[in-house]
Homo-oligomer: A and B are copies of this chain.
């Protein structure tokens, strides 16, 4: 999906919500567990219920890989299902990959390519530690995106990401300023944790126009108001993720309905923020 299409989609739905499909077999409502593929059935119903309020879906690869071959099958089916709504959702493989060039090429093929084996996501999250040649192979796919980790929302972010370098910049700032040269605003986004919303101000000085994927609103405790205050651009420039607060809003038979309620609630908040920032 192109940047202009993503922006149109955000304007149309008045939402910049990304729903994280961290689908945990043990948290799937009991009535679905006897089905042939409970994970896919759960995802399908979550997608159907939340689609009007959501611009992106983000399957978290770990939850599928921990189910082995069956998990990969559930993921393929979920992607096939999402591709039916190709014009109305953006898809992100939350995979945090990154390796030497010939290996990153393979990961890019696995997640971005349209071949029978490729999962044909619009975007993939990538870890920056191994540098330019570990990221570049993902940027070669037309109309596909790299979402590079910059500042994450977990406690361990302070171990390395916020370490000051010799010139005074923090590591994540150096990651932003270095890596933005590897791609452009049409194929590169950054992950920025919402638990540190005030840091978005400084981040916007380095990457004023790039889209940011902001996890950590909801279960991880970030505030939507803060995030939009410091991070929103004239093109919105934000995808804000919520996973558990939506997909596990209820663990009963009404899980899809409650997920829709939770997604709608966030969408309504997002619409207010749009009006305040005059984005729509």
Query: Which residues of A approach B to under 8 Å, CB–CB?
Result: 22, 60, 62-63, 65-73, 76, 94, 96-107, 109-111, 116-119, 127-135, 149, 152-161, 163-166, 168, 171, 174-175, 178, 220
Contact = CB atoms under 8 A, between A and B. Distances in A.
Contact of A155 (B102, B131, B157): B131
Contacts of A71: 117
Given A96-B97, A127-B129, A155-B131, A66 B163 contact: no
A220 B100 CA distance: 10
Contacts of A149: 129-130
How many monomers of this chain does the complex have?
2
B107 A131 contact: no
B63 A152 contact: no
A81 to B, nearest CB: 16
Contact of A116 (B68, B106, B155, B163): B68
Nearest to A215: B100
Contact of A107 (B66, B118, B157): B66
A128 B131 contact: no
10 contacts: A65-B107, A66-B117, A68-B72, A96-B98, A129-B152, A130-B149, A130-B161, A131-B156, A131-B158, A166-B168
A104 B62 contact: yes
Contacts of A168: 166
Contacts of A158: 131
B100 A153 contact: yes
B63 A106 contact: yes
Contacts of A76: 68-69
Contacts of A67: 117
A242 B178 CA distance: 31
Contact of A132 (B109, B156, B174): B156
